[in-house]
Structure 1
Amino acid sequence: MIRTHLIFLLLVISSTSSSSTPLSPSQSSSSAREQEEDRIKALPGQPKVGFSQFSGYVTVNESHGRSLFYWLTESSSPSHHTRPLLLWLNGGPGCSSIAYGASEEIGPFRINKTGSNLYLNNFSWNTEANLLFLDSPAGVGFSYTNTSSDFNETGDERTAQENLIFLMKWMSRFPQYQYRDFYIAGESYAGHYVPQLAKKIHEYNKACNKPIINLKGFMVGNPDMDKNQDRLGSIMYWWSHAMISDASYNSILKNCNFTAERFSRECNSATNNAAADFGDIDQYSIYTPKCLPQQQTNQAKFMQMKQRQASVLPRWILAEYDPCTESYAEIYYNRPDVQQAMHANRTAIPYRWTACSDFVFQNWRWRDSDNSMLPIYKELIATGLRIWVFSGDTDSVMPVTATRFSLSKLNLPVKTRWYPWYSGDQVGGRTEVYDGLTFVTVRGAGHEVPLFQPQGALILLRSFLAGKELPRS
């Protein structure tokens, strides 16, 4: 803890001394050169676009050789130079924001089935903001460390600290984004990353005479918020959505203490038996088809499966959702020409790029993980930051019931009572506005809300950035 605070103090001192004065000509020249080195001229198979892209590395620990990989897609709006900057973080822990956020959720491109070409996402969030995707911590995606023992010491605290260091160094490289309105968004275990980073930024801003990170707010989707409430909420979701039997449900309630630090052997047995009731489904999206392994199916068979399910699945789900998009990303980002165009894999990592990293994903490697984010929420709500929590209602892993249980513990006064909001002429979900926080459900969306409901997610973003309630009609 002492070492962490010393690093933080040094960061504050060094950053404050340089941020309170204008850039010198040499500093300006240096940042322009670094930006140009990171500029993406064009990605392989990319359609022509009118916005700029940059990607590359920022070193966050010199002695250990830890560097984080980023990808900036500037806004496609003519007023991109005044649009806010939004940092997107995926969770896991250990999953890539390039693979998920950028490539199948909010980024400007989608990858075709063969991994050979890109096509435009008609609901990209870069119509509204400049998007900064970050692979964090080191070991995720193209981010790396030269010290293998680092993987045994990764955790919440170091991830938040190095994400702050990344931002400071990145904004030194891109000074045009200093003082710009800044937001953070993410999903799943980024329910830890996002508020923890927001707290670090708030502490940094308090310590500076003239902060350069103009944090306005943050937004998290299907987040890991409070382990006790998440456990209880998941079990309730499984039972209420007919995923498990009454017998399995009652066995869990009998054998599990949801406030315990760890589940007992009897509780683990009860939950494992209940999981067998699920069947072979995508637990992150319980009503959509699961991606089948290539050796078991081909594209024609997959299309037949989709047609068979057309009678029970809404057409708007079938039209937008492809359950195999993660595999397309793993083809595309392992291509040497793609890595060269993105200035990635500069250390020639001796393993394939994967959407989620085994080095980080193994829970026993994760050094620290707070049981609850609710104390941080209370602290940040008091600062006046804009805070939204959204939840796709077909996710059984971080379900809407868990989020509602967690939010109820905050005991926030209701400002605008529960009402349905609209995406086009359809109900997009429901929302309730509290004093200091807005809660939103997204109808028919799984764990990755913008993947399942791209139009609704874009409406959600616009309302969030504008600080306005979601449309009632």
Structure 2
Amino acid sequence: AAMDGSIDIYDIYVDVCLAEQERLKTQQFMLLSERHAALRRHRQQPALGTDRRELQTEISPIFPTCADHYAAKYLNSAAVQRAIGVDVSTIPGGKWADCGGVDYKFNYESELPNYARWAAEGKLQILIYNGDADYILSHMGNAAWIAEGLKLNKSLEWMAWRGSDGQVAGYFEQYATAGLPLTFLTVKGAGHMVPKDRPRHALDMLIRFLAGGGYDQVSRGDTTPLCA
């Protein structure tokens, strides 16, 4: 049901924009067609598997949300553009759009060999994180990717971590490598764009990463109590 556009696959708790459903159908068809064509090329020419360009295809945001719709309408207002000093001649196609004009490619080449090499070397601090409301790249899929794909041994069992506001911000676990552990962490209530959905907890996570880990040791900060 999620792939028919009735649910935002990047954040299952965000409403989709019903006004964009017709455009959604067209984009979805184009995207799937391009992906299938890229996979066919790869199967027909396996020797090209080392050439990243042969495994790429166009990708575009195909599940427009109400927030995206409202932002586009606002930023395409002539009054808004005048107020913020936009040179309209620089807008591709004369209309602002998120990700507009970006030559973005979807790559089918597996990153498992790279992560396996980094784990074997043990020199990098690796953090893989997910918003737990992300459907397109779910935390369950990433957990399986680590456990089954990398075949690492778990060194720390699944446990909660709290943000600087004292709230449970998600859960994390760690896997042993040749040196620094690999951490897999979720951010509770966040979709694909974690900083947008949970800015404070995203910052807490980043601060702990830069400090070398210890995601269960986030310092409490000044907050406004929810139940004052």
Q: TM-score range by the shorter chain?
A: 0.5 to 0.7
What residue in structure 1 maps to residue 172 of structure 2? 431
Change (3 A) 1:326 1:372: farther
Change (3 A) 1:339 1:333: farther
* Cα shift readout 1:288-340 (whole Å, capped 9, x = no counterpart): 3334549xxxxxxxxxxxxxxxxxxxxxxxxxxx9515642664388264446
* Cα shift readout 1:207-246 (whole Å, capped 9, x = no counterpart): xxxxxxxxxxxxxxxxxxxxxxxxxxxxxxxxxxxxx6xx
Alpha-carbon distance in 1 for matches of 2:168, 2:66: 24
Alpha-carbon distance in 2 for matches of 1:323, 1:379: 42
Corresponding residue to 1:412 among 138, 152, 164 = 152
What residue in structure 2 maps to residue 378 of structure 1? 116
| CA root-mean-square deviation | 3.3
* Cα shift readout 1:384-430 (whole Å, capped 9, x = no counterpart): 12221110111111111111121121122333222111123322111
Aligned positions of 1:4-43 closer than 5 A: none
Aligned positions of 1:47-66 closer than 5 A: none
Does the 8 Å CA contact 2:127/2:183 hold for their aligned counterparts?
yes
Point out the structure with max Rg over C-alpha: 1
Alpha-carbon distance in 2 for matches of 1:356, 1:465: 29
Q: What letter is aligned with 1:332? A: L
Q: What letter is aligned with 2:194? A: V
Change (3 A) 1:323 1:430: farther
What residue in structure 2 maps to residue 443 of structure 1? 188
Corresponding residue to 1:458 among 203, 209, 215 = 203
Does the 8 Å CA contact 1:444/1:452 hold for their aligned counterparts?
yes
Alpha-carbon distance in 2 for matches of 1:434, 1:346: 52
Does the 8 Å CA contact 1:284/1:447 hold for their aligned counterparts?
yes
Aligned to 2:216, what secondary structure does the other structure show?
Answer: coil
Alpha-carbon distance in 1 for matches of 2:166, 2:204: 13
Change (3 A) 1:325 1:438: same
Change (3 A) 1:383 1:285: same
* Cα shift readout 1:65-114 (whole Å, capped 9, x = no counterpart): xxxxxxxxxxxxxxxxxxxxxxxxxxxxxxxxxxxxxxxxxxxxxxxxxx
Change (3 A) 1:376 1:291: same
Corresponding residue to 1:288 among 3, 14, 18 = 14
What residue in structure 1 maps to residue 100 of structure 2? 357
Change (3 A) 1:369 1:422: same
What residue in structure 1 maps to residue 222 of structure 2? none
What is the aligned length? 163
Alpha-carbon distance in 2 for matches of 1:350, 1:288: 29
Alpha-carbon distance in 2 for matches of 1:385, 1:346: 45
Q: TM-score, normalised by structure 2?
A: 0.58
What residue in structure 2 maps to residue 156 of structure 1? none
Change (3 A) 1:384 1:351: farther
Does the 8 Å CA contact 2:76/2:95 hold for their aligned counterparts?
no
Question: Post-superposition shift, 1:348?
Answer: 6.3
Q: What letter is aligned with 2:99? A: C
Change (3 A) 1:396 1:378: same
Change (3 A) 1:411 1:333: farther
The answer as to 2:133 corresponding to 1:394 is yes
Q: TM-score, normalised by structure 1?
A: 0.30
